[in-house]
Structure 1
Amino acid sequence: MIEKTELNSGWTLHCNDTGRPGLPETIPATVPGCVHLDLLANRLIPDPYIDVNEITNDWIGKTDWTYRCTFEAAPDDDTVQELVFDGLDTIAVIALNGEEIGRSFNMHRTYRFDISGLLKVGANDLAVSFRSAYAYGAEMEKHYGYRPNNYPGPGNLMRKMACNFGWDWGPTLVTAGLWKRVRLESWDQARLAETRVSATLAGGDGLVKVHARLARHGDAKPCRLVATIGGVTTTVAIGAGEDTIAFELRLPSPKLWWPHHLGAQPLYPLTLELIDDAGGDLLDSYQRALGFRSLRLDTSADAHGSAFTFVINDVPLFIAGANWIPDDCFPSRVTAGRYAARIDEAKAANIHMLRVWGGGIFERDEFYEACDRMGMLVWQDFLFACAAYPEEEPLKSEVEAEVRDNVVRLMPHASLILWNGNNENIWGFDEWGWRPVIKADESWGLGYYLDLLPRLSAELDPDRPYYPGSPYSGSMEIAPNADAHGCKHIWDVWNDVGYEVYRDYVPRFCSEFGWQAPAAWATIEESVHDQPLTPQSNGVFHHQKATQGNDKLIRGLSGHLPEPQTMDDWHFATQLNQARAIRFGIEHMRSHRDICKGAVVWQFNDCWPVTSWAALDSAGRRKPLWYALRAAYDPRLLTIQPRGDGLSAVAVNERTLFWRAKISGRRLRLDGSVLAEFEFWRLLCDRFEAKEFPLPEDIVSPGLPKEEVVVVEMLDRRAFHYFVEDIELALPAPRLSVDVAASDGGFAVTVTAESFLKDLCLMADRLDPDAVVDTMLVTLLPGESHVFAVKTAKGISANDIVVGTVLRSANDLVAGRQ
């Protein structure tokens, strides 16, 4: 059996710039980790997430560093001994006992070095010297020539996490280090060098396909591979002259794996054991938990253009999704527990797909394992984003190596439903002015997206779809961001116009769209210490990375909410506007379910405390957007949408059972008096359907638009329609009463409306940074009550629920300003 010795302790860090003042010669280091974390742990740098400390750390990424450790081992002529690095970030020379054994050029690969003849008895010295990514990037620009890049730094000239060099939501923190685990592996006859496993359906049976490649040592001997899953065992003989093998297992009638909103996620443990025929010794083993489901991506032509529909277990889905970025600028800090907590938050927001975006990383195994368990679908980008990429050597070989590594590693996961070639690069070439910059004989990445990546995907993982890019319209003959074909990004809405423009688009699938807002108040206070805090104060402004981001926040309020005059109002108004913009866009797209089959909001999470498009900030605190996503992605949605010259209530049903219920509605004054009403006894919305119900003329025809609202109800779902925006709406000053009672794990805060209250939010982190509230964005008619469940260990009373600070609504932003 392979003997694996972890080499994750006893490391030290050394700065190769001997003239750097204030640094000790030897710095205790943690592996997995990176230089920034080691310097931070030893109090040698200020926390780059705090205030404007990011800029004081620029020198780290421009410096060369060496990690060293000593480990005990012994040479053995009868065994192969290999050093295995699961992740090296990025440009490194590895030396053992003073002799170079290899080099790395790729953060996204596993490296394995045979050191059988280099070990000595007793202590062995291992050194990994990292070169500055900036210095290497400068060399590569001379080698390849200039290639356009939407963001600073040479991330497109090497295989390193692109957003390390800064993004419009992320800081510039250029890392180096051993970011994944290190080990010494010893083996004496054979090992599984590559194991490719896929699980699909063949009729009613589960079909497991296994392709294995062996590495051998010494005289090749016969062995066998024993595969077991769900009580089914298959043994395959491997002759002395063989080093590759392929076979299938059939599991009769397995339970199907479903995304979480449709069913359960049964997982079947697969075990492969490589056994020596002569002595029966176990040489190597492989374990994965497999889920069985069918999968295809329908891109067929239809009356509207061409589809972009994920079909799982023969069910065409509407994808309720969000984009996922690295959850920390220093990925080694993200634990399995943190992955699980973030994915659980996405699930609780009714998200059932996360798109792992191409400017980050292939996440660690724990991410995909958690998605398998939780029924969270994964769209995986290959790692190309917002830039032109050379296709010449050495980059081309590095791309192929990393794709082989990661496709083989990730393909067993039932949650993974797409390999996507790139993020915005084809669009960038077509529309961002790259064409005149890139010479006719220069490569820019298209060969990766249309040749290399689909070829490798088909070779290694033919049962999973590949798509060339996001956005992409299915053909280079069609504009890449067309409404009628493929997947679309909608960014003019945030960058140039108001969110009402979402209704101008009915895409086949929207894989990116978003709206900004600041982080939770407690997160801002933890990361910025400006006195006073203002949107333009140094720290707050530094934690806004988008070009003219604060200006766009204010411009986006225009026509919807008044421009805020205080920091408290700025914070709440921009968060509220973000939540409304995205809910508006999602409900519009879902109401056109027959054409549009997915909405993937930008973005779910953050990597540091920042004003961004995220629903969950870097501390894991929910912004109002999180609650808006939960409502907009509710598998049973009731929404009011314009249709022709009128309005229709649209019921959207993503459940497996039909939705049949009475639908009723009223046109009301804001004081609650009824002006018109209707009742229709049975509206039937079948599963996976959007059903429109035209509202009667007297419901949709206001007498005093500024003072009226339409409320439509279907069972426990409720939808509102206003005839004017809040800035014109005659919202009264908020009148309400508050009662607080202890409950399990916290408190029940009951708010009773004495006036119409629009989008009522209890900002729990203003009570306690660790508090979590179950609901937000609640609209109450006069006389109605709502109970907010607040989880907190801190005692609170009704006096703590301060209206205008802790308890906020649109009313206190606009009342009296009409």
Structure 2
Amino acid sequence: MMIFSIIMDIFLLAALLGRTVHTSTDHGRVRLLDSLDWRLTNSNGSVTDVIAKVPGGVFADLLANGVLSQDPLYRYNDVAYRWVSADQWTYSTTFNGQNVLNVTLNSSIKMANKYFNQSDYPIPPLCVPSDYHGECHVNYLRKMQSSFGWDWGPAFPSAGIWKSVKLIELHETLLEDIKTRTTIANSSHWLLKTDVYMKCFQKVLDGNVRVSLSADNNIVFGKERHCCNEICINDEIHVVVELLVAKTSVKTWWPNGYGDQPLYDLTAEFYSKTESQSKTVSIGFRTAELVQEAIDKNNSEKGLSFYLKINGVPIFAKGTNYIPSNVFPEKMNTKLTIEKLLTSAKYTHMNTIRVWGGGVYESDEFYHACDKLGIMVWQDMMFACAMYPSDDRFLDVVSTEVRQQIRRLQHHPSIVLWAGNNENEAALRGNWYGTQRNYTTFASDYVKLYADTIRVLVSHEDGTRSYVLSSPSNGLQSERENYVADNPYSALYGDVHYYNYEVNSWSSTFYPWTRFASEYGYQSLPSYQTLTKALNANDLYGFPSPALVHRQHLAGGYAFMMLQIEMNVPVPAKPTISDYIYLSQVVQARAIRIQTEWYRKHRNTLLEDGRGMTMGALYWQLNDVWQAPTWSSIDYDGRWKMLHYSALDFFASVIVVPELTANNLTIYFVSDVLNDLEVVLQIEIYCWSSIQPLSTITTYSLSIVKNSAQLVLNENYVSWLQTKTNKCGRLLDEIKQNCFLHTKLYYTNGTELSPSNYLFPNSFNKIAGYQDPTILISNIKQKNINEIDVELQSTGIGLFVWLNVTRTDGYFNENGFIMLNKTKTVTFTSSQNIESNFFTVEISHLKMNLTN
């Protein structure tokens, strides 16, 4: 019997977060050791010989064996179960009946403290904020940074073997990675450059490498190279094969909304007299660049642009930020969860997702889904909100990690940008963690890690994409300032993160002029049904209960939430948790809509001082890892919040944006369509007391310039309104109380072109004449096994009408809408079979005349 023992201090990201070995199995060279036959034991002997599943994780195994009696996400278990993370765990299995494999995982909590104590100087932050209920010094480890606690999630420093274990028989070489580069060779051909990397176990290699491109199982192009006496250097052989691919033989990959996403299989094969191996990856043909060029060639002080150009077309990045799909790594790769989240993003017209640097390099399934759906990926390296070591040990690990991850991911056409970290430039320059006392040292560490190490590796391993050191950052301007700009939040360069909970989120007055908004957001509560799975009945009585306070990781988070609610909507005298759920989602949805429309409408605006020309809007955040108040638009159970429905409107390809600033009315048209449009603008003026408009203004033969935003109306609001109707009042304050506008665009043939948009001049606390309507379901009709039509009737204007389906998972084609007609039909779609007899809907809408 042979005993193999592996001791791991931590999960290395290079191994933990997606490193995969691909080999052929036709000669029996690979044996999977995945099974339920593993055993799990801890170091103090309190858990012995528990059945373990590989791939899997310690928390899942302990729960399955009854060692943990409750869901780790239930109530206070993120703290109660911390003992699991503080212990050392050993996985054991036997194979061939003769061999034993032991894998021991040291506690990441203890190892983080060990590295901290061994450090020449403390590297901040010394711990996460107390509101996180987390652990300290995760920045010393190459482990998911948010696993030690974050403002949107719990601390579960996990342990386990969460990917397949393979026994691989090795002879001459192991085909590990394929990288690709598609560039335009000439007017008729693409140049496809393929890098094949093979790990070698002999000094000289003699064999053949064949590269072939196929579509629908038919080979389109292929080329073979004989590798005669290739020398093994640093245990690796690198072979390059170039193909000229006729443009007529392949189609171009485009982001969502701009075209199709054709994908092709690229196969690399190695064969010799003794063995053969192959690996296949999916690729697309497209060009991608981050454009940072002078806004005004005659005046450099106006700054640089910052936008993505795909296939020569400037793309306004519409989308969100993606955190890990689960706090437990063994559950992250659930294909159904990933596809559900990303399909929901595509459905709301998104074309970009930023994979945030405090999480993980996502799974192959994630990136392949982005490839198929046309979702561009801004890929952070996994460093966030901290300073990091720059000693040789740490940099060696980082170098391995980055090299492996780039080689694993580089072939995906969806990935368009690499970024070194999240917010670390701003943290260093802004003295977030007290670095000013030793600024020279920490600035030197920063440059060593992100410029001298990661930047060099990115340039060497992938010449097809741009790299920015940080987000937010001034991009090229930061590099000119030795990689740490005096003001990383400059409006004239790079990207910006914006959070401000103390001003009115429904007023665009406070939103920044920026080249690219890569983070912005407001919190809301998840659905009641989602909360019930994590809390008991007492926890849901009174707001906020101690259990809800425990889950609020933003300092002062509930106070900020209440401030935003009270500034904009009426609150019942004795609100329930359901009231707060609904109102927080209303405020969040409206705030993000107003802010996103602000960015979209200024894509072509250039102020005299150089501000403007915004080309990206990525709100924070798409998904959740637990049931708690967060910034997400989809909660932990996959239920869409009102924000996600709102994204259907504010991310639409063509939108109309009305706004009132002081006494000035503006209307913008925004179009992502790649051809000019002739449109009809319809503006309806409503008073709050009637479901019938006071006046309808229709303007024909208006033009929208392709792929742009344009100002089409700029008027004194009082003067303009009084030429249309005299029933709203004479003075501005009176008019704002009494009336609002409904706007929409149509094609010239009468077909709807844009979603509805509204100008609400006042907060809903300050409107006059509104009578709460009665809104009822008049009919529920089964369309097919997966769809149900719900018909509503209303006695008046319905504000933010919310339909909550209590027993069936799915989504409506509209929700959280303004109801301006007496009847309205919406469609509910589910991946499950729906029976109308068991279909239950609850209706909520904003009420003004509150009684208790």
Q: Which TM-score band (shorter chain)? A: 0.7 to 0.9
Whole-angstrom distance in 2 between the partners of 1:210 and 1:816: 67
Aligned to 2:245: 251
The residue number in structure 2 matching 1:148 is 124
Match of 2:64 among 18, 41, 48: 41
1:267 aligned residue: 263
Pairs within 5 Å for 1:541-552:
541-552=549-560
Specify the SS of the correspondent of 2:242.
strand
Tell me which residue corresponds to 1:519. 526
In structure 2, the residue matched to 1:600 is 618
- Conservation of the 8 A alpha-carbon contact between 1:49 and 1:527: yes
Equivalent AA in structure 1 for residue 697 of structure 2? F
Deviation (angstroms), 1:192: 2.3
The count of residues paired between Structure 1 and Structure 2 equals 752
For residue 185 of structure 1, what is the aligned residue in structure 2?
Answer: 168
Q: Is the 8 A contact 1:199 1:412 kept in 2?
A: no
SS in structure 2 of the partner of residue 459 of structure 1: helix
Deviation at 1:477, TM superposition (A): 3.9
- Equivalent residue for 2:449? 448
Aligned match for 1:238, one of 196, 206, 227: 227
Tell me the distance in 2 between the aligned counterparts of 1:201 and 1:750: 53
Larger mean CA deviation between 481-490 and 497-506 belongs to: 497-506
Contact 1:201 1:292 in 2 (8 A): no
**Structure-to-structure mapping, 1:428-467, within 5 angstroms:** 428-431=427-430, 432-438=432-438, 440-442=440-442, 443-467=444-468
1:212 aligns with 2:196: yes
Task: Report if aligned partners of 2:789, 2:825 keep a CA contact under 8 Å in 1.
Answer: no
Aligned position for 2:391: 392
What are the within-5 Å matches in structure 2 for residues 792-803 of structure 1? 801=841
Name 2:744's counterpart in structure 1: 713
1:143 Cα deviation after fit? 2.2
Amino acid at match of 1:164: S
Q: What are the equivalent positions in structure 2 for 1:167-186 lying under 5 Å apart?
A: 167-186=150-169
Alpha-carbon separation, structure 2, partners of 1:225 and 1:799? 58
Q: Which amino acid aligns with 2:849?
A: A
Matches within 5 A, 1:653-732: 653-670=671-688, 671-672=690-691, 674-694=693-713, 697=717, 698-700=719-721, 702-703=728-729, 704=734, 705-715=736-746, 716=752, 717=754, 718-730=756-768, 731-732=770-771
Q: Distance in 2 between matches of 1:733 and 1:196?
A: 61
Distance 1:517-1:674 versus aligned 2 partners, 3 A rule: closer
| Preserved CA contact (<8 Å) 1:762 1:776 | yes
Query: Corresponding residue for 1:105?
Result: none
Between the aligned partners of 1:560 and 1:331, the Cα distance in structure 2 is: 40
Secondary structure at the counterpart of residue 146 of structure 2: helix
Aligned partner of 1:736 in structure 2 is 775
| SS of 2:698 mapped into structure 1 | strand
2 CA distance for matches of 1:200 and 1:533?
60
Moved more, 165-174 or 235-244: 235-244
Decide whether the 8 Å contact of 2:140 with 2:388 is kept in 1: yes
TM-score by length of 2: 0.85
8 Å CA contact retained: 1:226, 1:272: yes
- CA 1:4–1:726 in structure 2 vs 1: closer, same or farther (change >3 Å)? same
Farther off after superposition, 248-257 or 712-721:
712-721
- Segments of structure 1 that go 5 or more residues without pairing to the other structure are 73-121
Measured in 2, the distance between the counterparts of 1:788 and 1:444 equals 55
Q: Is the Cα contact below 8 Å between 2:78 and 2:154 reproduced in 1?
A: yes
Q: Please, which of 277, 283, 299 is the counterpart of residue 290 of structure 1?
A: 283
Q: Which moved more, 1:1-10 or 1:447-456?
A: 1-10
Q: Report which stretch shifted further, 464-473 or 431-440.
A: 431-440
8 Å contact kept, 2:72–2:78? yes
8 A Cα contact 2:223 2:241, kept in partner: no
CA-CA distance at 1:382 after TM superposition? 0.3
Partner residue, 1:780? 819
Mean Cα displacement is larger for which, 51-60 or 329-338?
Answer: 329-338
Please list every run of at least 4 consecutive aligned residues from structure 1 whose deviation after the TM superposition is greater than 6 angstroms: none
Q: Is the 8 A contact 1:647 1:700 kept in 2?
A: no
TM-superposed CA distance for 1:780, in Å, is 2.1
Aligned to 1:130: 105
Letter in structure 1 aligned against 2:345: A
Q: C-alpha separation between the residues in 2 aligned to 1:691 and 1:258?
A: 24
1:323 counterpart = 2:301: no
After superposition, the C-alpha distances for 1:385-413 in whole angstroms (9 at most, x for unaligned) are: 00000111311111111000000000000
Distance 1:577 1:496 in 2: 13
Q: For 1:380, what is the secondary structure of its paired residue?
A: strand
Indicate which of 618, 626, 635 corresponds to 2:644.
Answer: 626
Aligned sequence identity (%): 26
Which residue is equivalent to 1:556? 564
Distance 1:699 1:781, change over 3 A: farther
1:482 matched to 2:490: yes
User: Matched residues in 2 for 1:370 and 1:167: separation?
Assistant: 27
Query: Displacement, 1:752?
Result: 2.6
8 Å contact 1:494–1:515 — kept in the other structure? yes
In the alignment, which residue of structure 2 is the partner of 1:300? 293
1:759-801 deviations in Å (ceiling 9; x for gaps): 211112xx31525333112212253534343647565679965
2:146–2:153 Cα contact (<8 Å) kept = yes
Please, what TM-score do these two structures have when normalized by structure 1? 0.88
In structure 2, C-alpha distance between the alignment counterparts of 1:799 and 1:322, rounded to whole Å: 32
- Looking at structure 2, the residues matched to 415 and 224 of structure 1 have their Cα atoms a distance apart, in angstroms, of 30
Alpha-carbon RMSD across the aligned residues, in angstroms, is 2.3
Distance in structure 2 (CA, Å) of the matches to 1:436 and 1:466 = 27
Residue by residue over 1:612-641, the C-alpha shift from the partner in whole angstroms, topping out at 9 and shown as x without a partner, is 101111111111111011211011112212
Distance in 1 (alpha carbons) for counterparts of 2:542 and 2:189: 61
Query: CA 1:502–1:136 in structure 2 vs 1: closer, same or farther (change >3 Å)?
Result: farther
Taking structure 1 as reference, are residues 747 and 286 closer, same or farther at Cα in structure 2, changes over 3 Å only? closer
Counterpart-to-counterpart distance in 1, 2:194 and 2:453: 23
User: Does the CA-based 8 Å contact 2:319-2:617 persist in structure 1?
Assistant: yes
1:106-117 to structure 2, matched below 5 A, reads: none
Structure 2: how far apart are the matches of 1:478 and 1:469? 14
- Are 1:379 and 2:413 an aligned pair? no
Task: Decide whether aligned partners of structure 1 residues 374 and 771 sit closer, same or farther in structure 2, where only a CA change above 3 A counts.
Answer: closer
Residue 239 of structure 1 and its aligned partner are, at CA, apart by 1.4
Contact 1:615 1:626 in 2 (8 A): yes
Letter of the 1:383 counterpart = M
Task: Name the structure 1 match of 2:346.
Answer: 347
Task: Give the Å deviation of 1:206.
Answer: 2.6
Deviations 1:39-64 (A, max 9, x none): 11112112111122222101111111
Structure 2's unaligned 5+ residue stretches are: 1-23, 129-134, 215-219, 232-236, 297-301, 479-483, 605-612, 723-727, 747-751
* Aligned partners of 1:309 and 1:318 also within 8 Å: yes
- Compute the displacement of 1:327 (Å): 0.7
Any conservation in 1 of the 2:182–2:192 contact (CA below 8 Å)? Answer: yes
Listed one character per residue, the Cα deviations across residues 707-765 of structure 1 (whole Å, up to 9, x for unaligned) are 2111222112322112211111233212334312322234322113321112211112x
Which string of whole-angstrom CA distances, capped at 9 and with x for unpartnered residues, describes residues 218-243 of structure 1? 57352111111142111111112433
Asked whether the equivalents of residues 492 and 515 of structure 2 are also in contact (C-alpha less than 8 Å), the reply is yes
Equivalent position SS for 1:178: coil
